[in-house]
Structure 1
Amino acid sequence: MRLLFTLLFALAIKPLVAQTIATFTTGMEKHPGFLTYYWDAKKGKIWLEIDKFGQELLYYPTLAQGVGSNDIGLDRGRLGAEHVVRFERSGNKILLIEPNYGYRALSPDSLERRAVAESFAQSVHAGFEIVAEEGGHALVDLTPFLLQDAVGAIQAITQTRQGSFRVDASRCAMYLPRTKAFPKNTEFEATITLTGDAPGAYLRQVVPTPTAVSMRQHHSFVELPPLDGTYKPRLFDPRSGMNSIDFYDYASPVSQPITTRYTVRHRLAKKDPTAALSDPVKPIIYYMDPGAPEPIRSALMDGIRWWNQAFEAAGYRDAFQVKLLPADADPMDVRYNLVQWVHRSTRGWSYGASIVDPRTGEILKGKVTLGSLRVRQDYLIAQGLTARYENNSADTAALMPMALARLRQLAAHEVGHTLGLPHNYIASTISRSSVMDYPHPQVDIGPNNTLKLDSVYAVGIGEWDKVAITYGYQDFPKGTDEKAGLKAIIDNYLKRGLKFLSDQDARPEGSAHPQTHLWDSNADATSELIRTMAIRKIALNQFSESKIPVGMPMANLEEVLVPMYMFHRYQIEAASKVLGGVTYSYALRGDGQLVTQTVAPDQQRRAMSALLNTLDPTVLAVPTGILSLIPPRAFGIDANPREVFKRHTGLTFDPMGPPEAAANLTLRLLLNPERCARLLNQKALNPAMPGLSDLLTGLIGITFEPMRRTFGEAPTYPEAIRQLTSRRLLESLIELAANRDADSRVRATAHDAIQRIRQHYLVNKPTAPLNYTVTESYPNQLLWLIHQYESNPQQPMANNVLAAPDGAPIDPGQDWLDCEEN
């Protein structure tokens, strides 16, 4: 019995792991740093030495080498979500645990904090078996964690319907050139291969063998800033023009909101907070990807430097700096705020994102992705507006300057997101007061109908941007009432007439503010639509083969034609929001801002008239001189289907394709169910306002009414366009009347309009000729559509409408930070 007790006691005190770390790692490469690791070349493994048990650190994955498809979204440098994590040991196992910072108690009472922590779930990201230990340090195999699909590439491929893929472990391995340990961060990178069957078109376009998609995924473990009070979270104000993080604070008084919001910003402080202008304790430095070629690289760096103007306005001297990324630097390293030049197979979004400390809102790394093909689209727009390629000369002086001007603005815009700023889509109405708007190129009409690009884009940081940076980064002297100081910043900009409205207020369908739009210009959306239509007319009238260089296939003219024909698309979006529009602000009680105000009746009617004019056949028709210039594609030179008009005519250019795309854009915006409901409501509240019936009468008047004179006649090109727009109107009304989500009054009004069309324009039309013509079949087809709707209103006939070629990003700029863009 005594012997048995001795053996059990010996087992009880025996270490769980027999080997020491030094013994186990003999012959391996040791890499000391924030998290020390060992490279086992024989087995291709990473062994992690863990000594920071219970200490919170930041983990986030990144896509170091992308897939190259804008549609799939797996871009080089794409940031994954950040996670506050800690290592916790239980016996022979270590768990990587993420606490739940969405629910907290900002209280000194540990029991109060524990009650919240135990009320909500945590997330365990991984579990590791200990293989060796000594001196309180434990060694685990990190390799399986590093060779997983950490950025969600499989999910992205599945969501875009590009096939069913999985990680093939036999084709995954560590990538050592980007696997490094530093004093405050440790970085790992791995080649990850996904395999699958039946890859989709997007994958087939960019992957050499699309059944095997290989990319490099990066893992960052970063020391978190200490919560010692040196960085003080700044409370969020919706009027400030800064982004925020939010969480539930269960320690807040019952009389106060339970949600706490912190402003998102970099750490920045003055050496002398009492000075009007002071050097920073540590500047914010952004690094430019040297992979961007000249003159693009210099233009981008010029635009990024504009932000120093905003920091100077906030009282800092040389606090924002721009440098070229050193050749030996790892762009995924958290120490570098990076502007990265990214290539894709098609044009696409650029965006600004940040790695943020979820505990405080402090930005730890700003990361900008700039799509390289966007500059070509800007060049193409300038080409359509002003270029003349003659036999022995070319008038292209304005083309590259316009493209570079856009890149400067773009770089500033995306960096703005990484500084904590969201979009300000009303800024274009106030002297282009923010780079955080989406700017439409400012084209002026000169003598003899020349188109001028002299002030195509604003230069320098905007007045609004200075306000937002001052709010986010002002370092108040000790003893200052910060809340009062921040309020003064907002009060001051309101007195100056500056405004801030963001994404939810600017989207073309559903939103209602008459001045808050994407890609618009001018404070009066209707006046700018009228002016834009005049520019479009000049551009189309002057369009000729001289828009492309000598020796280029004539079919390539279509790519230049698209942005000219659709030049008005964004101003249509802007003007449509005047109808049923409501002016408002992010007003707080007592701040004196306008709360809400319906757009005046005369302004709405003027916008309605301008929008209806966009459906006129003479406006929609492609000039016949252009139709004769565009043949089918040249052998071996295919078009990107997104960059040309859709067609019903096969290889040949379809003269009805552009009118159908443009007409459908106007009708879709005007007959948006939410806009229609607002029109009904405003008419009920004020009979002087235009209502939905007024809009439908106008639409019927410009489409069906002129056709009463032409039934039975062989249609000319303009009349064929009118037939097209009238059919699209009827189809749109049927879709609206059958929409279960629409207001019942909207559906009833749309139904009445359908009956009016049938009675006045299809049944009681003038007597048709005795011979059965193609034209006579047209009203019969419309009657058949109405019959189908009445027979089964919940299943109206689906129509394959020719949509417009991709617009956004047309001078692109959707960002992510929110994401371009936006």
Structure 2
Amino acid sequence: MRYLSLLLFLGLTACFTPRETVQTEPDIPSVQTQAPDATAKIEKKPKFKAYGEVITPEAETDEGLFTVHHVGEEYYFEIPFSLLNRDLLLVTRIAKIPAELGGGYLNAGSKTNEQLVRWNRVGDAVHLTSVSYSSVADTSLPINMSVQDNNYAPVVMAFKIATFNPDSTAAVIPVKELFVSDVQAISGLSKRLRKEYEVRSLDKDRSFISRMASYPENVEVRHDMTYAANDPPSNARTGTISMQLSQSMYLLPEQPMQPRLYDERVGWFTVRQVDYGSEALKADEKRYIKRWKLVPKDPEAYARGELVEPEEPIVYYLDPATPEKFRTFFRQGIEDWQEAFEAAGFKNAIVARDAPSRAEDPDWSPEDARYSVVRYVASTTRNAIGPSVVDPRSGQIIESDIIWYHNHLRSYRNRYMLETGAANPSARTLDTPDAEIGEMMRRVISHEVGHALGLPHNMKASYAYPTDSLRSATFTNTWGLASTIMDYTRYNYVAQPGDDGVRWVRMLGPYDIYAINWGYRYLPEARSAAAEKDSLNAWIAEKQGDPVYLFGGYSSSDPSAQTEAVGDDPVKASRYGMKNLRIVAANLADWTTRDGEDYADLEELYGELLSVWSRYAAHVTANIGGVYEQLKTTDEEGNVYSHLSEKEQAEAVDFLNEEVFSTLEWLMPERIVANIGPSGIVQRMRRLQSRQLNNLLDADRLLRMVENQALNGSAAYTAPEMLEQLRRGLWADAMEGRSIDGFRRNLQRAHVERLTELLNEDAEDATDIGALARAELSAIARLARSAASRYREGIVKYHLQEVEADIEATLTAK
């Protein structure tokens, strides 16, 4: 039996030939003069070209993170196998921008996308995939498999391997197609902009790679893109939008930094992740703060409380294009933060250096990810920005460039004159002294560096200081104008003529020191983000209840979190501001006109003066229907939200009736309005005042007041009370039979128009706002009917009769 089995096995083996060893005969030619050599091998074309055939001697090559080549019309990446499956950050920015693109909200340097990517080999190709860390789970947990399956990484583009480097440790791929195709993942045009400008397509014939460079930790590509568009933002006749994009690919640390958990009571920029491996009975959203990795050189000395230098300090290089006279101020603006880092235990944690010259370091480049740079940009843009590149896995800031646009000098000169000129003689000129403009630039740089360190705007900081304290030289020179430089408290517009020695310009404050310590103090004993939480909470608890250490972003409903405000009493601060603005308006022509020059500067500054007036008015309006927000955890006493008192809100309406809804002769000096245009001041004032009126009669504001009454009853300042108080102010002339000038008539029409809009808008929602608007319109109609009888024939009488007729038509239609 055993012998029979062996025979069967041998027979089957003889009948079966593995697929790999099967030989197929070549096709037999139709005419064959000689029998083929049975031993001859069939030659096959190599799958890949030789390296020298692809990367020819004419190639322009740059070595770095991975080698890049330019050969003829093609560009190649030579990607080491060691970088396959490594996490890299791809950041897309607009390097050169057409005029008016984005309506002023985009500029050269604006980031349009940031994504984590990986290079993966798939057979004979290399894929570029976009990987998300928004959903995570520890790799040791079973649920991680589900996270991976439900967050499959999309392929941005696939590249056929052209060759391998000589020692076969890297794949060479052609990449031109990535940068001259309309790839949404790296585009500079969002869907909104494409729709707005009616973009039809990318013209590949007018799109090209302009440069490519490789550095030790990043690769940079510049490529110009031209789109066909029906309605481009500028140069409309061309039917074209052209822009240059910058693609920056950064190698991220192989081991991510230990993150630090975010607490909303201390403001930080953050990265978000949904942790499916959390013990919480839900997909647990976690936020980690954005910060640089600072580790003390001498941990033992650090633990003893000594100031210790970090292993790798934060270094900012000054752009060689920075004017020499401003370099000192830029250095100071950067190194002002050293005091805050000392509170966190680090000395020399942040330093400023001049960029090396070509002779000193011919390879130095601001595009090298190892260098953070304060760039000075020749541009008409009035702005400065402090962006950073962040590892989305941990929140670690990898690199940052502060951008100062040259024309921002003009913004600060103008605001300095308008907001401090009444009490500050040195601000009363178009030629602001270098030392003073330099001080302003220093503080702008500090503000932008603050962003690059991880700090967002803190609009509650201005509310931390008593308004009258800002008139004190001792107080302002010790504490500044707000508790942080991250507020938009640029100038001291409260100080009055005679308040000698006060500080005019913002500076770092105690909140900055507190926040940097909270975010950067090294906690080696905590081996996880969760293990740090008790320490972080304790530091917040130490400052509990102190307004100096509160955080809050801008809120339209919270009067303590307004932009461009100063002091803890908006009504008092705006009264001081309006008082100063009267002096400025009366003298603006003298301060801005020069012999032999036109009135362009006067016209520009007058427009900005009206904007300053509007801000002062809006700060007061925020009190009405205002709700204070103070962020708390459940173990802290008190409520998070509380309405303003009746007294505070009523005082705010009184201010508006007196300062905002009156005829503003002082805001229209003849020397200004008679020299900047032939007409239009009446309509300009109508728009100016109507905007403030519409802000006051905002539907959300009225709903908050209705809710306040529902919750707090007689203690609340009610919407009917506010509307009556406003009506008595706006229509006082008619009620008393006095003449009603053209400015007041315009404002009365705007009042009726806004109430009519509220009535119409509420038709679908059916809230109390419709009833309030109807009641007010009825009261105004009765008032107009009664008042019209007091006037003889003329424009005032006709105006009142028209008001009554319009309201009656509206109410009848409803």
Scaled to the shorter chain, the TM-score interval is 0.7 to 0.9
Residue 343 (structure 2) aligns with: 313
- Equivalent-residue separation in structure 2 for 1:420 and 1:507 (angstroms): 20
Does residue 6 of the first structure (1) align with residue 23 of the second (2)? yes
Residue in structure 1 matching 2:714, options 687, 690, 702: 687
CA distance in 2, matches of 1:87, 1:445: 59
State the distance in 2 between where 1:283 and 1:11 align: 64
- 1:335 matched to 2:370: yes
Matches within 5 A, 1:344-359: 344-345=379-380, 347=382, 349-359=383-393
Residue by residue over 1:743-773, the C-alpha shift from the partner in whole angstroms, topping out at 9 and shown as x without a partner, is 710121011101111122146631553x5x3
Deviation at 1:330, TM superposition (A): 3.2
Matched, 1:575 2:606: no
Matched, 1:263 2:313: no
> What is the distance in 1 between the residues matched to 2:411 and 2:791?
49
1:604 corresponds in structure 2 to 649
Of 103, 125, 144, 2:135 maps to 103
Q: CA deviation at 1:203?
A: 5.0
Q: 1:190 aligns with which of 223, 226, 242?
A: 223
CA distance in 1 between partners of 2:665 and 2:195 (Å): 34
Please give the alpha-carbon distance, in whole angstroms, between the structure 1 residues aligned to 2:688 and 2:267. Answer: 35
TM-score by structure 1 length? Answer: 0.83
State how 1:237-252 maps to structure 2 within 5 Å: 237-252=263-278
1:220-264 deviations in whole A, cap 9, x for unaligned? 222210226xx2111111112222111111111134761122111
Corresponding residue for residue 814 of structure 1: none
SS in 1 for 2:543: helix
Q: C-alpha separation between the residues in 1 aligned to 2:372 and 2:735?
A: 65
The 3 A distance-change label for structure 1 pair 137 and 554 is closer
User: Which residue number in structure 2 is paired with residue 730 of structure 1?
Assistant: 752
* CA deviation string 1:770-790 (max 9, x = no partner): x5x333332343345435544
Cα deviation digits, residues 441-492 of structure 1 (max 9, x gap): 2135555xx7979521123x21111111111110124479633322222122
1:218-297 matched pairs, under 5 angstroms: 218-227=246-255, 231-255=257-281, 258-271=284-297, 272=299, 273-276=302-305, 277-297=307-327
Check the 8 A contact 1:387/1:546 in 2, yes or no: no
C-alpha spacing 1:486/1:46, structure 2 compared with 1 (3 Å): same
Question: Which one of 63, 70, 84 corresponds to residue 116 of structure 2?
Answer: 84
Call closer, same or farther: CA 1:742–1:578 in 2, change over 3 Å.
Answer: farther
Distance verdict in 2 for CA 1:367–1:515, change over 3 Å: same
Q: Does 1:56 align with 2:103?
A: no
Partner SS, residue 568 of structure 1: helix
Give the aligned length: 742
Task: State the AA in 2 paired with 1:747.
Answer: G
* Amino acid of the structure 2 residue aligned with 1:756: A
Q: Which amino acid aligns with 1:300?
A: F
Q: Does 1:456 align with 2:504?
A: yes
**Which residue of structure 2 lines up, in the alignment, with residue 485 of structure 1?**
535
Amino acid at match of 1:316: F
The structure-2 alpha-carbon separation of the partners of 1:615 and 1:710, relative to structure 1 and needing over 3 Å to count, comes to: farther
CA distance in 1: counterparts of 2:591 and 2:546, whole angstroms: 47
In the TM superposition, residue 594 of structure 1 has moved relative to its aligned partner by: 4.7
> What is the RMSD of the two structures over their aligned residues, measured on CA atoms?
3.3
Residue correspondence of structure 1 range 80-159 to structure 2 within 5 A: 80-109=112-141, 111-133=142-164, 135=168, 137-148=170-181, 152-155=187-190, 158=193
Separation in 1, partners of 2:494, 2:592? 19
What residue identity is the alignment partner of 2:314? I
DSSP-derived class of the 1:278 partner: coil
Q: Distance in 2 between matches of 1:695 and 1:568?
A: 22
Secondary structure of the residue aligned to 1:199 is coil
Kept in 1: contact 2:487–2:563 (CA 8 A): yes
Say if 2:483 is the partner of 1:436. no
Partner of 1:756: 779
2:613 pairs with 1:563: no
For 1:586, the aligned partner's letter is: L
Structure 1: unaligned runs, 5 residues or longer: 389-393, 633-651, 794-822
Distance, in Å, in 1 between the alignment partners of 2:226 and 2:24 is: 50
Aligned counterpart for 1:617 among listed residues 662, 665, 678: 662
Q: Which amino acid aligns with 1:686?
A: G
Contact 1:734 1:750 in 2 (8 A): yes
In structure 2, the residue matched to 1:701 is: 728
Please, which runs of 5 or more residues in structure 2 have no aligned partner? 1-16, 27-39, 359-363, 423-427, 466-481
- 1:811 is aligned to none
**CA separation of 1:472/1:478 partners in 2, compared to 1, >3 Å: closer, same or farther?**
same
Residue in 2 that maps onto 1:38? 69
Within the candidate set 411, 416, 421, 2:450 is matched to 416
1:792: Cα distance to partner? 5.8
What's 1:635 paired with?
Answer: none
Q: Deviations over 1:294-335 (max 9, x none)?
A: 434433332222111211111111010122344564333322
CA 1:193–1:333: 2 relative to 1, 3 Å: farther
Secondary structure class of the residue paired with 2:113: coil
Alpha-carbon distance change, 305 to 60 in structure 1, aligned in 2, over 3 angstroms = same
Alpha-carbon distance in structure 1 between the residues aligned to 2:104 and 2:574: 34
CA pair 655-215 structure 1, distance change in 2 beyond 3 A: closer
Q: 1:427 to 1:383 in 2, by over 3 A?
A: closer
Corresponding position of 1:171? 206
* 2:352 aligned residue (315, 318, 322): 322
* 2:698 paired residue among 629, 654, 672: 672
CA distance in 1, matches of 2:718, 2:197: 45
From the superposition, tell whether residues 121 and 745 of structure 1 become closer, same or farther in structure 2 (CA, over 3 Å).
Answer: farther
- Taking the aligned partners of 1:373 and 1:11, their CA distance within structure 2 comes to 74
For residues 310 and 680 of structure 1, the distance between their equivalents in structure 2, rounded to whole angstroms, comes to 45
Determine helix, strand or coil for the equivalent of 1:552.
coil
| 2:200–2:230 CA contact under 8 A, matched in 1 | yes
Does the 8 Å contact 1:627/1:653 carry over to 2?
no
Identify, as 1 or 2, the structure richer in helix: 2
Of residues 67-76 and 374-383 in structure 1, the stretch that sits farther from structure 2 once superposed is 67-76
Shift, 1:18, TM fit:
3.3
- Answer whether contact 1:184 1:223 (CA < 8 A) is retained: yes
Q: Per the alignment, do residues 656 and 47 of structure 1 end up closer, same or farther by CA in structure 2, a change over 3 Å counting?
A: same
* Counterpart residue type for residue 605 of structure 1: A
Offset of 1:499 from its aligned partner?
Answer: 3.2
Q: Distance in 1 between matches of 2:73 and 2:79?
A: 17
The answer on whether the counterparts of 2:419 and 2:492 sit within 8 Å (CA) in structure 1 is no
2:660 counterpart SS class: coil
Aligned identity (percent) is 22
Q: How far is the alpha carbon of 1:267 from its aligned partner? A: 0.9
Change (3 A) 1:597 1:623: same
User: What secondary structure does 1:117 align onto?
Assistant: helix
**8 Å CA contact retained: 1:587, 1:595:** yes
1:171 positional shift: 2.5
Look up the match of 2:394: 360
Given residue 769 of structure 2, which amino acid in structure 1 is its aligned partner?
V
- Which letter does structure 1 place at the counterpart of 2:376? W
Query: CA–CA distance in 2 between the matches of 1:353 and 1:57?
Result: 18
Instruction: State the match for 2:13 in structure 1.
Output: none
Equivalent-residue separation in structure 1 for 2:765 and 2:583 (angstroms): 40
Partner secondary structure for residue 721 of structure 1: helix
The alpha carbon displacement at 1:403 in A equals 3.7
